[in-house]
């Protein structure tokens, strides 16, 4: 991997009237890197992507892509980038091929080259069979694959992916992620991906910026981020207790070494604790209440834990409540069926 | 950005939009039905003078006559019935007096009434004027005006006949010169171009102008804000194309749609409603295209302000209705009060409808409509100059 910065972001800021969606964000992305922006809905990830892909004008700050300013040289930037938006950028009444040909034609790619590329891309995502069907008839998974290959028509040096697996089933999500990896590996494409899913960020990204309330809270590799949590001598355990009671949970919570207890379902709890003897102390306290432990798992810290550790709240959409209503509406994906 | 690639990209956007349009079956059907409905509605509902027929009228003869002489009212009624059998205008029912006529109008049984006053014959015998009262239905002003005009015409004819009979009794007056004595002026009405005028002649050019205006003023904002809403607009915005190409392309597609509808209206007007086109048909189309140019900037400005399709449609509807009525599409602007007339002079649609009417109905050529052309071109240039930067800014908000 080269170490040259492909994307350089400095103090990028976006204000919507009096609400600051993105607040002086700075980072850089190296050529060929997969960079993740992780955060809850409304944290400002989409706005960052929209600014970098020249769709939204920054209120303050600058960014360059391959040394081209995103505001001053927006047309040059556009030639270099591909965007996979949260919304599907496809016309329902056009066929798969017609859609790709239309978008490809906007990049002045010679006709024969474009046709060949379209066939290759369709084959790559196993949609060749449906090339002459209208996209409106496609399943969500198929549409999302179309959405991704659309962004690859101009063979971009930088690919922006905004929540590329949102609303997909696990199988489709897996396929899309594998595809993203493949593009990065084979074309050396620099990728910026936003997600609110920890697993996704962990799987794909070389480095992750955790975004909360329009600011980058932390930026590091997934491994280092996880060390942030485990380095603090943290134990995370997943317990299955057949006869779990609220009394039992309360007594665990009251232990000195325990940071938090969360109940996943009727028999599962997840305990965050500190200290060397945390493991023993917790099990003792459950035994004392006659709890029947059916399974114990000592978990590696996940990015979920990192997020909790850094921001003090979970990745769920708690940020939403802090946002003014009008802007909230602006940030949420809006789908409308004709 | 060179103009050639702007044009190329525009054409691609236009072709894409038209492909989408052609695949939308229901939309296409509506596209064809709309002008048909519009023409039939205004064509059949709006009254022209000849269309008044079989109006129910109550007739009350209160005339008491004058001793010995035959009642003059009987002669009057006979003449009235003669005229009526020729025109088939009224269905006459009998009423006993004026107050019964009023009751009949109130209950909606008749639409008007004629009452002959009790001293009708005696007045005539003593050299005074005989009075006939026409009762109208004020709740239906349109009908009441038409009825007044028609009945006045009938009475005048009858009055002339009566006067002719009277003067023929003088020496040196005979049947051939009696009319000239009683009515020295004869008024003949003739149009500037041959053929009779109908409401369609007036309204067809207006509706064509309006359809073209609607296609760019509602079609364009709807198309752009729809794409903005579903997200496909981003796909174009993220490509290295001039933003102008998006507007131009979408406008081309909407223009094609508007012209298709305009042509349909023209064909309908000629085939179904007997409208004749006096002027040059190519000039008609050139005018419609010019209309597109002068409205498109306005449509783009609205698009830029509207966040979503719903808002865009609401803004359009609010602006369109006053424009439709104030621009003299359905009613001549000369009928309006002065302040409305001055608003209407500020609307480009007024000039487009006017120019179209002059060409289509009066057979005018280019030199006659220069003033209208200048206004339309001027409005188009001003609005486009405002629209392009506004659109650019709005899209990268």
Mean pLDDT, chain A, integer: 84
Identify which of A55, A98, A102 has the shortest CB distance to residue B234.
A55
Q: How many CB atoms lie within 10 A of CB A336?
A: 10
Residue B53: band (very low, low, confident or very high) from pLDDT cuts 50, 70, 90: low
pLDDT confidence of residue B47? 56
> Is domain B51-182 annotated with CATH 3.40.50.10090?
no
pLDDT confidence of residue A82? 95
Q: A5-220: what fold?
A: Rossmann fold (3.40.50)
Chain A residue whose CA is closest to B246? A106
Identify which of A78, A81, A91 has the shortest CB distance to residue B232.
A91
What is the architecture, at CATH level 2, of domain A227-311? 2-Layer Sandwich (3.30)
Residue A47: band (very low, low, confident or very high) from pLDDT cuts 50, 70, 90: very high
Angle (deg, nearest 10), helices B199-214 and B348-362: 140
pLDDT confidence of residue B95? 87
Report the DSSP beta bridge partners of residue A210.
A38, A218
pLDDT confidence of residue A52? 95
Chain B residue whose CA is closest to A330? B307
Chain A residue whose CA is closest to B10? A106
Q: What residue spans in chain B does CATH classification 3.40.190.10 cover?
A: 51-182
User: In chain B, how long is the greatest CA-to-CA distance?
Assistant: 102
Task: Map out the domains of chain A as residue ranges.
Answer: 5-220, 227-311
Chain A 135-164, residues with CB within 8 Å of chain B CB atoms: 150, 154
Residue B65, C-beta contacts closer than 8 angstroms, at least 6 positions apart: B71, B73, B121, B122
- Report the pLDDT averaged over residues B344-364: 88
Query: Residue A13 half-sphere exposure, CB side, CA atoms within 13 Å?
Result: 11
Is the pLDDT score of A1 beyond 50?
A: no
Distances (CA, A) of A265 to A198, A223, A255, A306: 20, 28, 22, 22
Residue A187, SS3? Answer: helix
Q: How many CB atoms lie within 10 A of CB B226?
A: 16
**Dist. CA B253–CA B236, nearest whole Å:** 16
Identify which of B1, B16, B238 has the shortest CB distance to residue A102.
B16
**Nearest residue to B297 (alpha-carbon basis) of B340, B236, B348, B230:** B348
pLDDT confidence of residue B50? 52
Extract the tokens encoding A198.
């920890």
Contact between chains at B238 and A55 (C-beta distance less than 8 A): yes
**Dist. CA A257–CA B310, nearest whole Å:** 56
Extract the tokens encoding A48.
């960052």
Identify which of B19, B229, B238 has the shortest CB distance to residue A83.
B238
Q: At CB < 8 Å, which residues of chain B contact A?
A: 1, 5, 9, 12, 16, 19-20, 23-24, 229-232, 234-241, 396-397
Find the length of chain B.
397
A308, containing H or E segment: helix A303-311
pLDDT confidence of residue A333? 40
- Alpha helices (runs of H) in chain B, residue ranges in sequence order: 3-23, 25-45, 72-87, 98-106, 120-125, 141-167, 178-182, 199-214, 220-230, 232-237, 243-271, 281-305, 309-326, 338-344, 348-362, 370-395
Q: Does A88 touch chain B (CB under 8 A)?
A: yes
- Please report residues of B whose CB lies closer than 8 A to that of A105: 9, 12
- Please report residues of A whose CB lies closer than 8 A to that of B23: 93-94, 134
Please give the residue that has the higher pLDDT: either B96 or B147. Answer: B96
Residue A319: band (very low, low, confident or very high) from pLDDT cuts 50, 70, 90: very low
Contact between chains at B20 and A336 (C-beta distance less than 8 A): no
Residue B145: band (very low, low, confident or very high) from pLDDT cuts 50, 70, 90: confident
| B80 burial level (CB within 10 Å; 0-12, 13-18, 19+) | buried
Residue B377, SS3? Answer: helix
**Nearest residue to B9 (alpha-carbon basis) of A78, A149, A86, A136:** A78
Is the pLDDT score of B103 beyond 80?
A: yes
**Dist. CA B218–CA B59, nearest whole Å:** 52
Contact between chains at A93 and B24 (C-beta distance less than 8 A): yes
Contact between chains at B397 and A57 (C-beta distance less than 8 A): yes
Q: Give a three-class secondary structure readout of A205-255.
A: CCEEEEEECCEEEEEECHHHHHHHHHCCCEEEEEEEECCCCHHHHHHHHCC
Mean pLDDT, chain B, integer: 83
The DSSP output letter for B314 is H
Phi, psi for A69 (deg, rounded to 5): -70, 135
Residue B1: band (very low, low, confident or very high) from pLDDT cuts 50, 70, 90: low
């Amino acid at each position: 991997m080269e170490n040259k910065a492909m994307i350089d972001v400095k103090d990028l800021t976006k204000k919507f009237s009096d609400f600051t969606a993105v607040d002086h964000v700075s980072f850089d992305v190296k050529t060929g890197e997969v960079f993740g922006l992780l955060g809850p809905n409304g944290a400002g990830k989409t706005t960052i992507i929209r600014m970098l892909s020249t769709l939204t004008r920054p209120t303050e700050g600058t960014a360059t892509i391959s040394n081209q300013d995103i505001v001053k040289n927006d047309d040059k930037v556009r030639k270099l980038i591909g965007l996979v938006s949260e919304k599907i950028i496809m016309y329902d009444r056009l066929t798969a091929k017609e859609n790709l040909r239309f978008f490809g034609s906007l990049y002045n790619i010679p006709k024969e080259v474009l046709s060949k590329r379209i066939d290759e891309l369709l084959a790559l995502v196993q949609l060749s069979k449906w090339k002459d069907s209208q996209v409106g008839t496609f399943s969500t998974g198929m549409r999302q694959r179309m959405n991704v290959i659309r962004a690859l028509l101009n063979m971009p040096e930088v690919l922006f992916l905004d929540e590329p697996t949102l609303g997909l089933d696990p199988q489709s999500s897996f396929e899309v992620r594998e595809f993203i990896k493949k593009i990065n590996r084979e074309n050396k494409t620099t990728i910026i991906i936003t997600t609110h899913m920890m697993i996704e960020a962990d799987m794909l990204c070389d480095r992750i910026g955790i975004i909360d309330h329009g600011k980058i809270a932390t930026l590091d590799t997934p491994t280092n981020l996880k060390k942030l949590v485990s380095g603090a001598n943290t134990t995370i355990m997943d317990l299955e207790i057949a006869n779990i009671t609220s009394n039992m949970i309360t007594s665990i919570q009251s232990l000195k070494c325990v940071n938090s207890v969360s109940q996943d379902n009727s028999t599962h709890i997840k305990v965050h604790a500190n200290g060397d003897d945390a493991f023993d102390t917790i099990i003792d306290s459950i035994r004392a209440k006659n709890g029947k432990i059916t399974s114990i798992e000592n978990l590696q810290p996940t990015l979920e834990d990192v997020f909790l550790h850094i921001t003090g709240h979970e990745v769920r959409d708690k940020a939403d409540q802090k946002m003014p209503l009008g802007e909230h509406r602006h940030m949420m994906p809006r789908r409308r069926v004709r | 950005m060179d103009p050639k690639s702007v044009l190329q990209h525009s054409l691609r956007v236009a072709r894409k939009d038209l492909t989408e349009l052609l695949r939308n079956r229901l939309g296409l059907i509506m596209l064809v039905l709309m002008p048909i409905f519009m023409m039939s509605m205004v064509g059949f509902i709006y009254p022209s003078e000849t269309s008044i027929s079989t109006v129910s009228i109550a007739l009350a003869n209160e005339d008491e006559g004058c001793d010995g002489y035959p009642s003059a009212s009987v002669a009057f009624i006979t003449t009235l019935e003669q005229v009526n059998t020729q025109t088939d205008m009224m269905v006459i029912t009998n009423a006993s007096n004026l107050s019964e006529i009023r009751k009949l109008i109130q209950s909606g049984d008749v639409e008007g009434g004629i009452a002959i006053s009790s001293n009708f014959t005696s007045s005539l015998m003593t050299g005074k004027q005989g009075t006939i009262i026409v009762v109208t239905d004020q709740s239906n002003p349109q009908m009441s005006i038409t009825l007044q005009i028609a009945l006045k015409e009938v009475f005048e004819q009858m009055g002339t006949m009566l006067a002719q009979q009277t003067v023929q009794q003088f020496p040196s007056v005979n049947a051939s010169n009696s009319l000239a004595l009683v009515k020295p002026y004869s008024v003949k009405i003739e149009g500037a171009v041959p053929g009779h005028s109908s409401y369609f002649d007036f309204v067809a050019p207006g509706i064509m102008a309006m359809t073209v205006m609607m296609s760019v003023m509602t079609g364009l904002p709807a198309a752009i804000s729809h794409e903005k809403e579903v997200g496909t607009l981003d796909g174009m915005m993220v490509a290295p194309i001039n933003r102008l190409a998006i507007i131009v392309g979408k406008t081309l597609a909407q223009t094609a749609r508007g012209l298709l509808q305009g042509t349909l209206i023209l064909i309908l007007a000629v085939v179904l409603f007997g409208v004749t086109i006096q002027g040059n048909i190519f000039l008609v189309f050139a005018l419609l295209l010019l209309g597109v140019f002068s409205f498109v900037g306005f449509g783009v400005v609205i698009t830029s302000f509207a966040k979503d399709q719903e808002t865009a449609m609401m803004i359009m509807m609010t602006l369109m209705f006053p424009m439709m009525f104030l621009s003299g599409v359905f009613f001549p602007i000369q009928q309006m009060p002065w302040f409305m007339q001055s608003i209407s002079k500020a609307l480009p649609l007024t000039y487009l409808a006017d120019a179209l009417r002059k060409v289509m109905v009066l057979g005018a050529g280019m030199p006659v409509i220069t003033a209208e052309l200048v206004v339309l071109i001027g409005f188009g240039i001003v609005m486009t100059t405002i629209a392009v930067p506004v659109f650019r800014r709005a899209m990268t908000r």
